[in-house]
Structures are given as structure tokens and as C-alpha cells.
Amino acid sequence: MFGMSQKDATMLLIVAVLAMLAPFLLNPFPTGSAMAQFNAGYPDLMQRFVIYGIFAIGFNILFGLTGYLSFGHAAFLGIGSYSAVWMFKLLSYNVVPGIVLSVIVSGIFALAIGYVSLRRSGIYFSILTLAFAQMMFALAYSVLSNPKFNLTNGETGLQVYADDVQIFHNDALPNLPHLFGLSMRSTYTLETGGWSFDFNAGYYLCAAIMVAVFYLSIRIFRSPFGLMLRAVKSNQQRMNYTGLNTRPYTLAAFVISGMYAGLAGGLLASMDPLAGAERMQWTASGEVVLMTILGGAGTLIGPVLGAGFIKYFENIFSKIDESVLHTWFGFLPDGLENAVIWVVEHFVGSGWHLTLGLLFMLIVTFLPGGLVEGGQRIARRFRRKPSDDNAPSGTTKPAE
């Protein structure tokens, strides 16, 4: 189907179904219950799940296939956001031109940065990408915020104002990002029993785009181009000895990866028309590295799982404060309650990074292949034949 094997088509179908049913799957607990704290089915968070999933899918094309570890991919995320907001300021709030421009501009910057950075490999390549990203951050934060040609608006962030040009502005259309009149904030809420499910237009646009780029990544992984990138990761030096120039392949992978990041940045701006330099910081670049490694570098669905994993912790665990903990442990005697809360509060709220760090250490130590490897182990465990478990320990199967 669509040029894919049955296994890949099944995986694509699973991703599509999960994306479409996310409002139900991410709200397992009734709204008024104590466990509703762990629901993640509200529009803003669901949008971040799929947008950062796109970011991680693109990064995985570079890191997972070629082995080139970039510490500066957040630069393209920020470039995509700025490009989209400028489209809103100059043309209209229609998200299509902004998304298209974010992909094009980030691709141009990726071509320039990749052309220089890919002259080196290993840690030198990583440091070069980090240096370029920090240069872009400094430009956006200070230099390009100069009143003479204010392109980024510095630390305040670039946003749309009432006196902006907006050539194709139409009073009949929403004065917010929209898709041909459909507001990205348009939300239908379904109340049933004790549950509440939000169906947001912006989320479904992002989800549809994520499914499309996930399909594109499958085609890249299974193509001769993807096979060449795997060969680069396996032994680039041996390929060079054969007389094959690998740089065009790695540069193409870098540009594609940068365009994915720009697309994610454009979607972030389309959901919330504001672009700030903080999206280009080195911490944002490190975050996408964690997403890919946690999910499973070099796998298809791993980066999506890793993005959801980190964004869930960032948005859910960070909201658990002392008042929430008191409602959870209020049944304990006062002294014991305060002691338990004192311990737990170091791992939630502002201390959620500690919990994420511990989980990251455990996954890297026991599941080097990330969450995908964990799922594969569980699947193999359930697929084991009963006869294998009941076979006498002294018997062996003949070699095949």
C-alpha cells in the first residue's frame, strides 16, 4: 500500500488511528476525579505532542540514519517560527503561507549550515552545529532586534500587531491563525458521563501533517537513499575508500532534517502566533536529542514516543505542586504526611527534571534501544510459544 510493506503500512495506520483518537486516549480519568491531574487530552498539550513528534522524526533522519549528532537543530525550529509569524504580519493569518515559508527558509539555512558543518564529523560536527545555533540565538535575541530592521523583536518575541500590513486581511475571517476561515483555536467539547473530550481544529491539522511526514520518513528509511545513509553510519571511511563521495547524501539528510524542524516551528507559530529566541537555545536542541534517544534512535516510531514521553512529563508532572500532594496524602497522619510530601515534591513540580533524568538513566542503562526496544521485548515475551517454556532444559533444537 502506497509503496510500503505490510509491516510499515500497519505501523502508519496505527500512528494515524492513535493521532485521531488522542482526545479519548489521553483523557482516561473522569474530569472531577483526583487522577484527572494525569489527563493530557487538552488542545495545547496534544498540539505539542504531535509538533515535537515532527521535530524528532526529522532529527532522527539525520541522527538515526547517518549517526551525525547535531546539537543545533533548535535553530531551524526558531527560524520556522519567525518565518511563519512574518507571513502573518505581511499577508494574513492564513496558516498555509506561513507553514510553507517556514519549511523553505529553514531548508535554505540548513543547506548553508550543513555545507560548512559536514566538512567535519563526530564531535567536531556536533560542536560546529552548536556554535551555529548559538550564533543564530544571539542574532535573534539582540542583533536582529535593532530598531533599524527589527526582524525578531528581541527578548519580547515577534508577534502580530493591529497596524501590521496584512495585505490579504479580511474582516470576515478570524483575527487569529486560521485555515481558510477555520480558526486553529476552534474546539468542540464532548461531555459524556464524568468525562470531557476536546476536539481542536489546530490539533487535527498538526496531527494530519504529522501522519503525512511520518509516511515520508518511512519512504526515506526504505529507499536506496536511506540505505546509503545507513551505510554512512556503518562505516563512512570504507565508503570513501571505494571512491564514493558521501557528502551529498549527508547534506541532503541534514537539509531534510532541518526542513522538518522548520515545519515544526511553523506549526508552533500557527497554533500561537508568537516567535521568541528561546526556541533556538541549546537546551531546545538537547531536548530533541533526548526525545530521539529515549524513543529509540534509528527506529521509525521511536522519536514520536520519545517526544510524547518528554512533553508529558514537562506539562503534567511540572503542575503537581504542594497543594495537589496534600490532597493525595491527606489521609496520612500529619507528621507522616508532611514527611512524604517533602520527599515527593523533589520529584514533581519544579523538580520534574530529576524524575525525567532518573527515567532517562534507567532507559539508557537497561533499554539501549529506547522505548521501542522495551515494546519489542514485551511483544517477544507474549509471542513465545508455550512449548518453548515447557521444553526440558536439557534438550536443544536442531540448527536451522
Q: Packing angle between helix 282-295 and helix 43-66, nearest 10 degrees?
A: 80
Q: Cell 504529522 identifies what position?
A: 210
Share of the chain above pLDDT 70, in %: 96
Q: Contact, 307 vs 52, CB < 8 A?
A: yes
Please indicate, yes or no, if residue 387 is contained in any of the structural domains. Answer: no
- Per-position DSSP letters for 60-118, written without gaps between them: HHHHHHH----S-THHHHHHHHHHHHHHHHHT-SBHHHHHHHHHHHHHHHHHHHHHHHT
Contact 62, 257 (CB under 8 A): yes
Q: What is the pLDDT of residues 55-72, one digit of tens each?
A: 999 999 999 999 999 999
Per the domain annotation, does 85 fall within a domain?
Answer: yes
Instruction: Classify the phi-psi angles of 153: left when phi > 0, otherwise alpha if psi is within -120 to 50, otherwise beta.
Output: left
Cα distance between residue 26 and residue 95, in whole Å = 26
Asked, for residue 316, whether it belongs to a domain, the answer is no
61 assigned to some structural domain? yes
Q: What DSSP string describes 138-159?
A: HHHHTGGG-TTS-SS-GGG-EE
Choose the most confident range, by mean pLDDT, from 146-150, 297-301, 320-324, 383-387.
297-301
- Domain presence at residue 174: yes
The C-alpha atoms of residue 386 and residue 128 are separated, in whole angstroms, by 53
- Angle, vertex CA 104, rays to CA 208 and CA 72, nearest 5: 90
pLDDT tens per residue, range 7-36: 999 999 999 999 999 999 999 999 888 788
Mean pLDDT over the full length of the chain: 89
For residue 168, being part of any structural domain is answered with yes
> Residue 355 and residue 363: Cα distance in Å, rounded?
12
How far is the C-alpha of 236 from the C-alpha of 257, rounded, in Å? 19
Domain containing residue 221: 6-30+38-280
pLDDT 10s digits, 320-356: 888 888 888 888 888 888 899 898 888 888 888 888 8
Q: Is the separation of the CB atoms in 75 and 342 below 8 Å? A: no
The answer to whether the pTM exceeds 0.85 is: yes
Residue at grid coordinates 511520518: 214
Which one-letter amino acid corresponds to residue 256? I
> Which residue shows C-alpha cell 514516543?
305
Which residue shows C-alpha cell 556554535? 131
Q: How many domains does the chain have?
A: 1
Quick one: pLDDT at residue 211?
96
Q: Does the pLDDT of residue 396 top 50, yes or no?
A: no
Residue 150 Cα distances to 76, 121, 143, 157, 363, angstroms? 19, 36, 9, 11, 44
Mean predicted confidence (pLDDT) in 143-165: 84
How far apart, in whole angstroms, are the C-alpha atoms of residue 47 and residue 176?
16
* Cα distance between residue 372 and residue 60, in whole Å: 14
Instruction: Write the pLDDT tens digit of every residue in 229-247.
Output: 999 998 888 888 888 889 9
| 100 domain residue, yes or no | yes
Query: Is 300 contained in some domain?
Result: no
What CATH number is associated with residue 184?
Answer: 1.10.3470
